[in-house]
Amino acid sequence: MKAQQVPKISQEIINKIIKHAQDELPNEACGLISQSKDKNSMQSDGVTNTAKSPYRYEMSPIEMLRLEQDREKNNDDLFAIYHSHVASPAYPSPTDVRMAFFPPGETNNPPMFPNTYYILVSLANNIPEVRAFFIQTGGEIEEEIIEVTT
């Protein structure tokens, strides 16, 4: 089951996650995007990449817990998990797919966040690329075209 047909994301949020990705170079950046239940507001929060790597990311569990508590308090939903690729396309890598499941790599299980978008920011070219995906049972990747709003 999908969260919605077309992910609608404001230019402000897109700019914020691109800037976060650029600020974290040479390492991958990562974070979470929450959305109000009425879908009228969104918030992007960067999370420390504890792997400190240009090839993978690991979100700080303490920061993730704090953001989850904030979402519960505000009655918001987890809209997307985002991260950057510093030198490869904005497309989930085999590692990204494996890590979308628990335990990691158990792709026959449902993904940990089945109704959540995975947004990737690629800094491989001069103009950053931002794309959204669902990662589904079996490791299937389905792209969703982002509708950028004002």
Tens-place pLDDT, residues 22-42: 999 999 999 999 999 998 899
pTM: 0.93
CA dihedral 40, 49, 96, 94 (to 10 degrees): 160
Q: Is 145 exposed, middle or buried (0-12, 13-18, 19+ CB in 10 A)?
A: exposed
The domain spans of the chain are: 8-149
Confidence of residue 5 (pLDDT cuts 50, 70, 90): low
H-assigned helices in the chain = 11-23, 61-74, 94-99
Report the distance separating Cα 41 and Cα 61, nearest Å: 25
pLDDT in tens, 8-27: 999 999 999 999 999 999 99
Could you tell me which residues are beta bridge partners of residue 130?
121
Residue partners of 40: CB distance under 8 A and separation at least 6: none
**Sign, CA torsion 74/79/80/81:** positive
In the CATH hierarchy, which top-level class contains the domain 8-149? alpha beta
Is the confidence at residue 1, as pLDDT, over 70?
Answer: no
